[in-house]
Structure formats: structure tokens, C-alpha cells
């Protein structure tokens, strides 16, 4: 399975975020009145996008805090390749009848990342071996103006069926079987990747459509061909 997804799931566990279980909503009237649901994605003329009432590439962490509440953790991840990702973890966020964990990827220049790395108060390691640095209070307070680079949305309900997402997003443009339990669906037009899991939680990851790059080894949608929903369906 792609390491990014394992790393996200592992990061949630390391952060000590409790998971709650809810039933998918049946109140359509309540959802129709909202503009911040996971499938309500709009694409801007410049190739950026809006979701959860936030503009990816333009909205700031302060705007996200006004929407989701105070974050539970901020961490700088450093991969073996040297790539650095600054992420903010929110606890259980409720939007209408839906509940989820939310992770924001923040856009910060290299100089500030250098300072955060040097001033970190604690270092841990993810299941994939990536370094996880916890920021000090002063550095965390300075992030209010940081712009959002990407959003990860993890529903708290286990076992959502593929049809639940198909009805809301449509058929994916492509898909990729990762392992026996995980399949990725790709929606490049809105910059979204969906991880379907047979046992765990589904994960939705949003980025700007203009920056979306289709990974190697995907199967493309074509007439008469249905996307894989599991490793077994991917073998058909």
C-alpha cells in the first residue's frame, strides 16, 4: 500500500486522537442546506479548489480554526528523501450530521521550516520511519497566516461502501489496487483522491486540481469497465 496512506493513519494513532463511531446521516434536508460537505467541491478558474468552505492555496490556518475549532496537534514530518510536510491535526469535527478527523497540510517557506526543525521540542518516528517533530508553542502560534496546501478528511464511520462515494462524486477517472484491503479512486478534475478500505476507514485527500498528478500503474475509466472497489474486484 502507498506509504502516504499508512503514514497518515499512523500519524493519527501517534497523535493519540480518539475515534468515535457514527451512522451515516439519513437527514437529506439537513445536508442540502450546507455548503461544507465533503462532496461539495468547486474548482476555481486558476485551477485551485474550494471544499469545506475553504479555498485551498488561499485560505489560512486561522480561517480553518474558525471553521473547525482549535487543532489538537501540529507536527513537521521529514521523509527519508528530505521532503518536509507541516501538518495540523484537528479532533472530531462536526459539519451538519457528518463527523470526521481533519488534517491540513500547510504551505510554509523553507526558511521557516528550518527554524521549526531547529526549535522542535520532541522527535518521534512514524510507522514508515519518517521523523515527526513537534513544534514549540511559539512556532505553533506563528502559523495562523500559513496557507492551506491540502486537506485530508477521515470519516469517523467505519465501513462506508463504494456506492456511498459513487453516488456523491460519480465514477472515478482512474483507480489503483494498493493491496488486499485498499483501493484508491482518483478524481483529477476536482483534485481528490479516495482511499477505499475493506477493514479500516476511508480517507479523502484534496489538493489543487492544477497540481494533481496521476500516479503510475493506474487503470483508466473506459466504457463498460467498472472501477475496482476491492482487491478482488481489481482482479476481474
Retrieve residue 185's grid coordinates. Answer: 479512486
Radius of gyration in angstroms for the set of CA atoms belonging to the chain, rounded to a whole number: 18
Is this model's pTM higher than 0.85 or not? Answer: no
* pLDDT given at position 18: 36
Residue 99 phi, psi dihedral angles, 5° rounding = -125, 145
Retrieve residue 96's grid coordinates. Answer: 451538519
What percentage of the chain has pLDDT greater than the value 70? Answer: 83
Say how far apart CA 191 and CA 51 lie, in whole Å.
Answer: 11
What are the domain boundaries of the chain?
3-17+33-235
Digit-coded pLDDT (tens) for 84-129 = 999 999 989 998 888 999 999 999 999 999 999 999 999 998 777 8
Amino acid at each position: 500500500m502507498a506509504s502516504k496512506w499508512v503514514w497518515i493513519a499512523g500519524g493519527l494513532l501517534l497523535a493519540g486522537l480518539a475515534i468515535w463511531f457514527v451512522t451515516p446521516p439519513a437527514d437529506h434536508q439537513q445536508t442540502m442546506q450546507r455548503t461544507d460537505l465533503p462532496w461539495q467541491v468547486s474548482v476555481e478558474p486558476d485551477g485551485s479548489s474550494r471544499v469545506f468552505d475553504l479555498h485551498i492555496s488561499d485560505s489560512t490556518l486561522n480561517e480553518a480554526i474558525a471553521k473547525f475549532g482549535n487543532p489538537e496537534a501540529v507536527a513537521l514530518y521529514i521523509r527519508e528523501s528530505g521532503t518536509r510536510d507541516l501538518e495540523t491535526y484537528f479532533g472530531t469535527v462536526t459539519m451538519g450530521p457528518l463527523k470526521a478527523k481533519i488534517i491540513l497540510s500547510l504551505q510554509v517557506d523553507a526558511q521557516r521550516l528550518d527554524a521549526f526543525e531547529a526549535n522542535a521540542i520532541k522527535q518521534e518516528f512514524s510507522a514508515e520511519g519518517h521523523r515527526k517533530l513537534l513544534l514549540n508553542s511559539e512556532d505553533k502560534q506563528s502559523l495562523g497566516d500559513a496557507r492551506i496546501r491540502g486537506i485530508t478528511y477521515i470519516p469517523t464511520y467505519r465501513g462506508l461502501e463504494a456506492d456511498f462515494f459513487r453516488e456523491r462524486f460519480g465514477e472515478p477517472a482512474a483507480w489503483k489496487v494498493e493491496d488486499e484491503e485498499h483501493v484508491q479512486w482518483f478524481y483529477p478534475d476536482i483534485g481528490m483522491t479516495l482511499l477505499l478500505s475493506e477493514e479500516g476507514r476511508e480517507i479523502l485527500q484534496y489538493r489543487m486540481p492544477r497540481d494533481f498528478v496521476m500516479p503510475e500503474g493506474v487503470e483508466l475509466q473506459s466504457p463498460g469497465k467498472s472501477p475496482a472497489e476491492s482487491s478482488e474486484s481489481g482482479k476481474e
